[in-house]
Structure formats: structure tokens, C-alpha cells
Chain A
Amino acid sequence: METIKQAQVINWLEKTAHVIGENKDYLTKLDSDIGDADHGFNMERGFNKVLEKINELAASEDLQAVLKNTGMTLLSSIGGASGPLYGSFFLQAALPLEGKTELTVEDLANSFGKGVDGIKARGRASKGEKTMIDTLEPAIDALLLSVKNKDSIETALSNMLAAAEEGMKFTIDMIATKGRASYLGDRSIGHQDPGATSSFLILKTLKESIIQPNS
């Protein structure tokens, strides 16, 4: 397999909505430890809106339109800080994809790289502050490495997810300095960040929608 097709991206978004729904209570639990206990609920609301639009998304002319529309939808439906953050991720990730209906590993790395830049600019956060960036940035680094190594899509996605998971787990030992959790200071140590977790779930779903379990 050389590229990720538009239909697979749609499939990813659709699956993500279900995965987020299944993990709603888990995300909320994580957020109730160090935040305001709304992350699961907010994410579900946001991705349910995406799900409602899935046919419209599927009919888009290119992947830029798909991600842009997804970003706009999340912006106005998540409600919490994840709204502008994931909204920015998808809006920025859409930028390099004009006219594209399939993605190489390089396209994916470019697109997600832009997306993470968007989150960093919007949230004024960087790696190590116990946020979604701790999941996403290592994931993008892994993708970039795969571009250099000319890995297959399967390998690239597997490596990406491994790096994302490692990054997510690092957040357990971090002190939060951004977002609601930062009010807790030292007490935020020992809890996995809910934003880092939802980012991981989104990436995990990407891998699983491209690589069928039997391959």
C-alpha cells in the first residue's frame, strides 16, 4: 500500500467518533482527577457532530476540504479548550492538502506537523507541559523519521503510534503548567493527561483504520 485514500480518512474520522464515545467515561475520569471532568463529554459532543456530517465529508472534493470541515465542526461543538485546539489541529493540517485525495507518509507528516504547530500556537504550550502536545509531537517526529527512512505506511503508522503512546505515558509524571490542571501544581503529578490520551486515541484509530488487524 503506497497511499492513504480519502475514503480511509473518512473511515478514520467515523471510527474516531465511535472510539471517543466508547472512551468517554475513561476520558472524563482522567479529567476529573486533574481538571473539570468535561473532556470525555466535550470530545464526544464534538465528534458526534463530525459523525453527523460524515456523508457531507465523504462527498468533499479533496482532503483539504475534509479536514477543514472537520476542524470547523469541532471548533463550534466541543465547547471546552479542546475545541479551539483540535479545531486548529485539523484546520492547519488541512492547509498542505489542497487538491489531494490520497496521502503518502510524507503528506501525512507535513499535514500533521502543521496541525501540531497550530495547537502549539493556539495553546501557547510546548512539549513537557502535560498536554496533548506530549502525545502528538513525538508522533510527528516518528513520522518524519519514517519519511527519511522511506518506511512503508504500515511501519510509519506503527512507529508513530508507539511514539505517541510513550509520550502519553510520560505525562503521568509531569507537572501541569497549562490549562485547568495547572491550578493543581504538584498535585497533578501521577495522573495521565486527558488531552494527551484523547490525542493517542485519535492516532490509534488512524492506524487501525488503515492497517486491518489481520495484516
Chain B
Amino acid sequence: MVGIVIVSHSKKLAEGVKELAEQMSQGKVKIFAAGGLNDEVGSIGTDPFVIKEAIEMADSEDGVLVLMDIGSAVMNAEMATELLSENLKEKVLLCEAPLVEGAIAAAAQAMSGFKLENVAMEARNGLLGKATLLGAAPPTGLNGHSEVETTGREIKIEVPNKLGLHARPSVRLVELVNRFDNEVSVAVNNGSFVSATSISQVGTLGAMQGDTLVFKVRGNQFSELERTLKEFSLNNFGDSKELKTPKAKTKKVEISTTSNLVKGGAILGIGVSKGIAIAPAKVLRNDNITVEKTEIVNTIEEIGKLKGAISKVLNEVEAIQHKTMVLFGQEDAEIFNFHLLLLNDKDKISEVENLIEKDYYSAAYSWYKVFTGLEQKYLKIDDIYLRERASDVVEIRNKVVDELLDSKQMELILDEPSILVVDEIGPAQTLSLDTSKVLGIVSQIGGETSHATILARSLGIPAITGLNGKIDAIKDNFLIAIDGSTGEIWSEKDYPEMIVQLQAKKEVEEKIKKERFSKAKLSANSSDGETFKVLANISSPKEAKIAYDNGADGIGLYRTEFLYMDQETPPTEDEQYAVYKEVCENMKGLPITIRTLDVGGDKPIPYLGIPHEDNPFLGLRGIRYCLQNQEIFKTQLRALCRISADYDIGIMYPMVGMVEEVLEANAILEEVREDLKRDGIPFSDDMKVGIMVEVPSVAFILPLLAEELDFISIGTNDLTQYLLAMDRENSGISKHYSALHPAVLLALRVILDEANRLGIEVSLCGELAMNPQATNLLSALGLRRYSMSGPAIPRMKDTIRNMNVGQIKYLCKKLDTWRTLDSVKSALNI
């Protein structure tokens, strides 16, 4: 695939153009920015060595296209080419195309696997779309619409999506057309035909919703194309739409297909999670879990078993969902809503119970039969998004069967670092993988929007799917290399040179990643010199490591609940001490804020004995639980105090709403310290104490709390929900649920002002902290400490470095003029 280099005098411009082009190519094309000088501030100018390096990184078998702005950019691009190795020099094409339009067109074309010359031509034609839209004559010499064939077999499809054939669907359309060996032209309604294989030309069509696209096809793969285009249309041209499943993910709805091509010796699938992995294949064929048709006698007992198994799996999925929420955020966690829906589906369950009662089938067999039927139904749905839900059905089917039979058919266990080769993998299975052992995933069945794929991307595991029968070619224990961005799988036995080549590519990718990391480790200062701290939210030592690698300036929120989950009894003081210590070690001395146990509400842990409550979110949660269960609280405080002897930690209490709670908690802390002193165990008197700000009352009582606290941390998710008295999981009312609601922003202003006035350190650790558009506003309001998931940190630091706090102060005043959520969103361009 052709690589692209963007050269500009301005570092910002080059990176901006890269970003635009990457949006087009969905990260499939290697695009590198070479802007500005290689000094600390990235001065305006061009540097041939910077360009040379970018070309080397963008290097690929198909060559590199270099686009540049003017003057020295041209000369230095030439200079850079002369500095390259002879071998690479021949593969580089300096292209005079307009920078922005050219980059976007080139990225789209490169993605479809075209050759360098062709990509360059598309870049040059990049102006066509704009010229057509503005009614100007196409620039002379550009490839206009004139010589397009208008004969051939016809396919008509209607434009289904609201926005019409805008940029993304155009790119996707061209990509689909180019998959097949046809000559294809396309027109809107009765308009003139353009080449359907060219993004610049398809981009000129400007078809609106309801328009008819008329394709003329000459070639042998007419029906394949027809089927693909129909599918594309059914899929709403890849745009999101009101899906029939609740809380459907809309972000990644893309067409997917299976591929059984073999390209130059590679086994070719669909690359769905990028990255390269090289390791022995571990083939675990799991398409057919088997359930014997057994008959039973005691139907009541059997139904009891069924209910028990369903409820166990429900608990398990809920725990997985919560873990996902913590690790990757709400959107990924919603993946499991569909699992939960299936487990709660009364119709299906009574169908299963009927089989047990009427036919005396075992619970396992009945469940298996009903859910296999359901899987078949999903597989027949036209809508690709829904069709990919079949794999979720299978995972739930198998999980309950495993539970009923006490079998381990779903478990994927690897002994050594390998590439997992399976027929199909579910999201829960993906999440349970040991990431130190699973270096890559190859699956026979799956798609770009399948839940396992989404999670593989979140976990950063390279993945290839859609192997459609070719999976048999991968033999157990053979060394293979997979490239998640191209979908290629190479076996060392047949193509040792490809393994070497991919190893080199992998090293380059790792180098780039490392460079990004090394920049992330520098402190984040705004362009006018304000110092910021970008901290991480974590829940395990492993995440602390990830946070450190991503350049976290410390931990802003360490959730300790996970220590208490999946256990029969609370963790002991020593167990806790060991885990906290590992977190501290992994952060190499950076400050760490540890939240004391936060249970209740949506975080049930059976042995803690939290009673059933009518209104758990206003019930025994957070610090309230700990104050009523002092033994559990004291054990944790003892472990924390011991840690404080050697490491820079602060502790914070969750769900505080009044002064009494802090006084009481601090009194218990004092008792623990007395005990330790008596036992001669060292601890630090300087350990900072703070609270989470989640209960709105805190906004009014900060001055009263100030004496007791060293810091506060705002949890925007709960604060928003309590302030607006709105359950965000309740889709009937959650339309106005947003941390950006004026009511929440005004409360944040009060909290930040008060905290800064009182000299209490303040940070923010909710999802709002990860929203780059909100960063300006929050910084203008005086926030300097942000806490978020580790992988989000490098981007946040970039955002901060590009920010001028002096210049955004005006946003504070603006805040008074925003009356509704919509006005905030439009002002912040969200």
C-alpha cells in the first residue's frame, strides 16, 4: 500500500492534513507529517532531514507519495529524496497536487491498494470535487469526466442515508467497486457518468438521500459487485442509523465481508485490529461445541438448574461489563448490554423451559437448541450490523451450556505467547484472554463491527477475521506472522523472507510508538507556559504500567474495587499491601491517589452483604458502606498507611456528601495510625487525604470541608447523574444527560473557584476529562489536573501543548450565555 508524506512549513498544518487524510483512510495507509523545523518549538520552516525520516517511515513496497506546500518545502523534499538510499529513491514520487485535497484523495486511493502513479493522479485530480461544487471549470489538464464508458450491465441503488454520498461513503463506495475486476462508471439519476473507481470523480457526484445511483458495469464480476453494493445500501452506506437493538453502537458500523483471496502467497483475511504479531499459531477450533441430546426425569429440578446457570452467567457478564467500563469506558461496556438482554429474554427462556417440560430434554440441550435456532435467524438478517450479533448469541449459548455441563469448552488457554487461531471468538472470551500470551487473533468468522473485534482493538491485539475456509491452511504450532492492517497471514515455512520483512515493519512501528511515548513522558505545558498534570485512572497494577508507558504524570484515580471482586471473602491487609505496592512500583515513584473501597449502587459484591435496596444509588454506597463496616475499612486503611511509609500516595473517600462523613472517616484513619504506631509499623503522617466530588452538596460545603482535606477529585459521571437527578442508563430520559450541561458546568465552576480559593488541589477524573473539546473550557475555568485512561494521555498532552490559556479565558464569560446543552455543544463544536 502506497505510503504518504505531508510536507509543510507549518508543523500544525502538516499534522492537521495528516489527520484529515487518516480519517479518509481509516488508519489503513501509512501517512507521516513532516512539518516545521526539528527544534524545540517546531519553528516554521522545512527540514530535509525531517522529510527524509518521514519518507523512510512511510516506505512500503508500493512506494511513497510526497505532497508539499510551497517554496522550500518543494526544494527540501527534493533534497530529502537525494539523501535517501538508492533503493528507496526510486520508489518516491514528489507530487505537485494541492496539499489538502491531494492528501485526502491520495489517502482514499492508496487504501484501495492502487499503484503509486495512480495514487498520484488521484491526488492531482483532488481539485475536481471542489471545482464542481463551486461551479468552476475543472482546472485544465485534470482528468475530467469526458472519456468515461457509459455502456454495460446496469445496477441501480438508491442513496439511503440522510447525509447522502458525502466523503466517507464515497471513499467506501470506491473501495468496494475496486474490490472486483470490473470497469464501472456511475451517474446520479440521469446525470453524466463518471468513473466509479476514482474517488475524485465519485466525490463530484454529490448524490443526496433518495437519489438513484446508476452503475454501468463491464466485467466478469457483475453479480459480486451487485451483491456488495446492495449490501452497502442496506447498511445505510456505512452511516449510523436508528438501529433496532437498544444502545447499538453506531460508531463503527462498516461493511464487512469475507475474503478467501490469497495474495502473493499470503492467506488473506480482513484486517480488523491493526498491528503486527509474529508467533507460533495456536489453533483452537471451537466452532462446534457439542451437547448430547439427553433426556431427564425431574423437570422441576432441571428448570432450577437452568435458572441457576443463567443467573451465574448473568453475574459473570455483569462483572465483565463493569470491568470493561473501567478499562475502556462506557461505549465498549455497552457491548455486553446485548448479552444481558439475551440472558433476560423471557420468551426465549420460556421456550427453553417448554422443551424441558414437554420433551424431557436436559436443560443444556434445550438451551443449546433454542439458541442455535436464534443464531441461525440472526445469520439470515440482511443488515450486517445485526448479522454480526450472531456471534454474541453463540457466546451466550455456549457460556450457559458450559455452566450447565460444568465443561470448559469456552475456555481459551495458551501456555506460551502465541497467535490464537479460532473459528469464532466472543467478546467475553476476548476480554478474558491473557494479553501477555495472546499476541494476535485470527478468526474464521467475524467482522469489523463484531464485539470481539472492537474489544481486540481496545486491547491493542492485532486481529484478522473473515478467513472463510482458509483457516485450515494455518497449522498448529507453525510460526506465522500476521499484519492486522492488511489482513495478511504468512507462514514461516513457506515464506521465511516475509517473516523477516514483517519483523522489520514491526520494529519501525514500535519505534514510532516509542517516540510518541517518549514525547508523552515530557510534562504538559500550555503554549503560554501554564503547567498541567495529566494523570491516569487505573484499577490494576497492569494498567499502572500502561499508564506509565503512556506518560501519566501520576495516578489520579486508583479504583480498588477489583481487589474485592471475584472473591469469596474480602482481601487481607497483606494481599492489599502487595497489590498497592506493585502499582506504586510500576509508577516508579510518581504520586498515586488511591480511592478507598467504593461499593454499592451498580457495583454489587455478594459477600459484602449489602441489603437489597429500593433505591441503591441513594443508598449504602461508597464511604457510607465503609463507615458502617469498619473492619473492612480499617483493613484497607492499614494497608494504605503502610504503603505511605515508602511511596507518595494520597487516599480519597468516595460518595462523600457531608462534613460528618469526612470527620468520621478521618477519625477511623487516626485510630488506624495509633494502632500502627503501637505495633511499631512505619507509616507517613503526610499522606494526603481527599474526597471524590460526586454528590452535589459538596459544591456548597467546600469551605466547611477545607480544614479536613488536602485535595478533591471531581467524578463527573456521578456528579452529573446526581445533579440532574437523571439515570443515564435510562434511555427514556437520558437525552439531556451530559456532563456538558450548563447546570453541570456552572457547578464545576463553583467547585473549581472555591477549591482554588481555598488552596485545595483539584483534579477531574470523569469521562469529561477525556473530551478534548471540553479541555479548553475546563482549563479556562482553572482546572490544571486531568485524570483519564492511560492510552488517552499522549493525545491529551498534545491538546494541552497546543493550548494558550490566556487566549481561552474568554470562555469563562461565555459560560454565562449558554442556556441549554445544545448551545454548549454548538459553542464547543461538539
Taking Cβ atoms with an 8 Å cutoff, the residues of A that contact B are 38, 42, 45, 75-85, 87-88, 122-123, 179-180
Contact = CB atoms under 8 A, between A and B. Distances in A.
Contacts of A84: 48, 72, 75-76, 78-79
Residue among A79, A85, A122 with max Cβ neighbours from chain B (10 Å): A79
Given A84-B76, A122-B79, A179 B49 contact: no
B20 interface: no
Interface string B651-676: 00000000000000000000000000
Interface string B66-87: 0000011001101100000000
B376 interface: no
The 7 closest A-B pairs by CB, nearest first: A79-B45, A84-B75, A81-B72, A81-B71, A84-B79, A76-B47, A76-B49
A75 B48 contact: yes
Nearest to A180: B71
Given A79-B37, A79-B72, A83-B72, A42 B79 contact: no
Contacts of B50: 76
A201 B589 CA distance: 55
Contacts of A76: 37-38, 47-50
B38 A80 contact: no
B13 to A, nearest CB: 15
B44 A79 contact: yes
Nearest to A81: B72
Contacts of A179: 71
5 contacts: A79-B37, A81-B71, A81-B75, A83-B72, A83-B76
A27 to B, nearest CB: 16
B71 A87 contact: no
Contacts of B45: 42, 78-80, 83
Contacts of A123: 75
Given A83-B76, A84-B79, A77 B37 contact: yes
B46 interface: yes
**A interface, by DSSP: helix, strand, loop or mixed?**
helix
B43 to A, nearest CB: 6
Contacts of A79: 9, 37, 43-47, 72
Interface in B73-106: 75-76, 78-79
A123 B79 CA distance: 11
Nearest to A88: B79
Contact of A122 (B38, B43, B44, B75): B75
B692 to A, nearest CB: 49
Contacts of B75: 81, 83-85, 122-123
Nearest to B72: A81
A80 B72 contact: yes
A122 B72 contact: no
Interface string B29-66: 00000000110000111111110000000000000000
A88 B76 CA distance: 10
A84 B52 CA distance: 13
Contacts of B48: 75-76, 83-84, 87
B71 A75 contact: no
Interface string B500-524: 0000000000000000000000000
Interface string B762-788: 000000000000000000000000000
Contacts of A87: 48, 79
A178 to B, nearest CB: 10
Nearest to B44: A79
Contacts of A75: 47-49, 76, 79
Contacts of A78: 45
B82 to A, nearest CB: 10
A205 B72 CA distance: 26
A161 B79 CA distance: 29
A88 B38 CA distance: 19
B458 to A, nearest CB: 40
A27 B458 CA distance: 54
A180 B69 CA distance: 12
Contacts of B49: 75-76
Residue among A42, A76, A85, A88 with max Cβ neighbours from chain B (10 Å): A76
A28 to B, nearest CB: 14
Contacts of A85: 75
A177 to B, nearest CB: 14
A88 B78 CA distance: 11
Contacts of B71: 80-81, 179-180
A85 B43 CA distance: 19
Nearest to A41: B43
A179 B72 CA distance: 9
Nearest to A46: B45
Nearest to B70: A180
Given A82-B72, A83-B45, 16 more contacts: A38-B44, A45-B43, A75-B48, A76-B38, A76-B47, A76-B48, A77-B47, A78-B45, A79-B9, A79-B43, A79-B46, A80-B45, A80-B71, A83-B46, A83-B75, A83-B76
Contacts of B38: 76
B10 to A, nearest CB: 11
A82 to B, nearest CB: 8
Contacts of B44: 38, 79
B75 to A, nearest CB: 4
Nearest to B71: A81
B41 to A, nearest CB: 12
Contacts of A88: 79
Nearest to B45: A79
Nearest to A123: B75
A8 B50 CA distance: 33
Nearest to A83: B72
Nearest to B49: A76
Residue among A75, A88, A123 with max Cβ neighbours from chain B (10 Å): A75
A83 B9 CA distance: 12
A82 B75 CA distance: 10
A42 B45 CA distance: 9
B659 to A, nearest CB: 59
Contacts of B46: 79, 83
B76 to A, nearest CB: 5
Contacts of A38: 44
Nearest to A178: B71
Nearest to B77: A84
A84 B37 CA distance: 13
A123 B70 CA distance: 12
A88 to B, nearest CB: 7
A122 B78 contact: yes
A81 B74 CA distance: 9
Nearest to A183: B70
Nearest to B37: A79
A75 B44 CA distance: 14
A25 B642 CA distance: 64
B169 to A, nearest CB: 38
Interface string B742-762: 000000000000000000000
Residue among B37, B38, B45, B49 with max Cβ neighbours from chain A (10 Å): B45
A199 B49 CA distance: 24
A83 B38 CA distance: 13
Contacts of B78: 84, 122
Nearest to A122: B75
A122 B76 CA distance: 9
Contacts of A77: 37, 47
Contacts of A81: 71-72, 75
A43 to B, nearest CB: 12
A52 to B, nearest CB: 13
A168 B47 CA distance: 28
A122 B71 CA distance: 11
Interface in B635-692: none
A42 B72 CA distance: 12
Contacts of B76: 75, 83-84
Contacts of B37: 76-77, 79
B505 to A, nearest CB: 27
A95 to B, nearest CB: 13
Contacts of B47: 75-77, 79, 83
Residue among A38, A75, A84, A87 with max Cβ neighbours from chain B (10 Å): A84
